[in-house]
Amino acid sequence: MRDRSQVTEPTAREAALQVLAQWQEVGNPPRVPDRDDLLWQHMEPRQRATAFDLLQGVLRSRGLLDHVIEQLLDKPIGGLEHVVRAALELGAYQALLQSNVTDYSLVDSSVELVRLAGKPRAAGLVNAILRGLLRLEPRAEPFVALRDDAFPVGVGRQVRFNRRMFPSPQGDVAGHLAVVCSYPKPLVQMLLQAYGPVVTLRILIAGNLRPVVLLRDDGANTQDLGGLVQHQQKGWLAATDGWTLAVAGQVAAGKLSPQDPTAGLAVESLCAAIKAVPPDGAPRPLALLDLCAGKGTKTIQLAMRRAGDIVVATDIAPLKLELLRGRARQLGLHRVRINLLEEVLIDHHAFDAVLVDVPCSNTGVMARRVQTRWRWPKLDRKVLQRQQLMLLTQAQKLLRAGGILVYSTCSIDPCENGDLVRQWLELQQRSPWRIVHEQMSLPAATDDPAERCDGGYVCVLAAAGQLAV
């Protein structure tokens, strides 16, 4: 058994339990409290980090944890009280996926946790289940192939039990991957259909990795900052020490921006497609629109990349736009204009280029957004795709003649990406458009922070016969 020498602070476990006990329906996972939430205020930074790790770890791994626990129960796990189930999941997570807690200390602390939660009668059950789990002798070893007595963990590793625990990978690949990698089976089936078993396994493993802090370099003095390494994508850095005070200071100063390189491809692709001088030869600033700006990460990126142009950001959420307005003012980006969508539509602006980063299923960022996988089966994909088509058409109508259109998602579902763009192209019979450039990125399953990235899609579109602005 792996060495476990430290006991997690009870306050961290209690905080994680408080959130996890709210998870009553698998398809409706609880929100992870923000870093400034009152839940964390009484904790020291180390305890807060522990609580975040426990909470996100169980959110990510619940399917696997529940399956293992249920093998040791004499009744369905759904029959347990929510707080008892959450305490078992926390204990199982530490036993199987953490290496800093001693075996029987985690049993004792889990028993104490349910007592503190007001469920002393469940103490015997928690004790029995977790001791039974430890008797399965889970041990880490190199990953060779999928098997019914082991589950993959991280890159190139697996945890193996002393008996069969999972469905056969030969009999039901989707069912096996859904359990051992902790994803809903319908989502796994979609990925298998799109990418096949080898690539799907890599995607699932990537979604189970702890996220790395990745930063766009907007002029930081990296020599004065420790724990930063150059990312393989030029212009990006990986923070190997995580979110430190030094990193936070550089972000506040506008020298670093938290952004995954894949997310940055939309703006980079737009800039690559734009020429400095428009077709009519007039040397004027271009008018660029970020149609679904949200909090404005791409707006800020675009404004910095195209400092001489006018960048307009719009969204349907006033609060997000207000945050963006404050950030743009703080960074001195005076050519950024921020308007509600209805204001842009009423004024009939004509833009030289429009970026439409549409709402999507978030299947490319499942490591960062741990609830995504559990919400996916209830997602109405057809309604979502109609919304994406509508936004793409709306973006086109806001372009001047000869303008450039950039469509992007943080999804790896082909139905939201290349398939949808081609469906939209078929609808443009009166005014044909074409794909200038498209790129699908899959999340990287690697331990090297300098190679980590999310998944997503970007497509540059232009009217047929036109090359670029």
Q: What is the DSSP letter of 7?
A: P
Model pLDDT for residues 397-433, shown as the tens digit of each residue? 999 888 999 999 999 999 999 999 999 999 987 778 9
Looking at the fold, whether 342 and 412 belong to one and the same domain comes out as yes
Model pLDDT for residues 66-88, shown as the tens digit of each residue? 999 999 998 889 899 999 999 99
Residue 378 lies in a domain: yes
pLDDT of residue 279: 42
Calculate the average pLDDT of the chain.
90
What range defines the domain where residue 240 resides? 211-258
Looking at the fold, whether 335 and 196 belong to one and the same domain comes out as no
State yes or no: pLDDT of 281 exceeds 60: no
Strand partners, 131: none
pLDDT of residue 9: 46
Residue 248 or 208, more confident: 208
Model pLDDT for residues 24-48, shown as the tens digit of each residue? 888 888 888 877 777 777 788 788 8
Residue 3 lies in a domain: no
Q: Are 438 and 421 in contact (CB under 8 A)?
A: yes
Residue 292 or 281, more confident: 292
State yes or no: pLDDT of 144 exceeds 70: yes
Model pLDDT for residues 214-225, shown as the tens digit of each residue? 999 998 877 767
Looking at the fold, whether 271 and 370 belong to one and the same domain comes out as yes
Looking at the fold, whether 129 and 177 belong to one and the same domain comes out as no
Give the rounded distance of the alpha carbon of 287 from its chain centre: 31
Looking at the fold, whether 276 and 234 belong to one and the same domain comes out as no
Q: For the residues 287-313, what does the mean pLDDT come to?
A: 94
Taking the CA atoms of residue 259, residue 260, residue 263 and residue 264 in that order, the dihedral angle to the nearest 10 degrees is 70
CATH number at residue 369: 3.40.50.150
Q: Using alpha carbons, list the distances in angstroms from residue 194 to 190, 413, 440, 453.
A: 6, 8, 13, 20
Give the C-alpha separation, 391 to 39, whole Å.
38
State yes or no: pLDDT of 91 exceeds 60: yes
CATH number at residue 78: 1.10.940.10
What is the total count of domains within the chain? Answer: 4
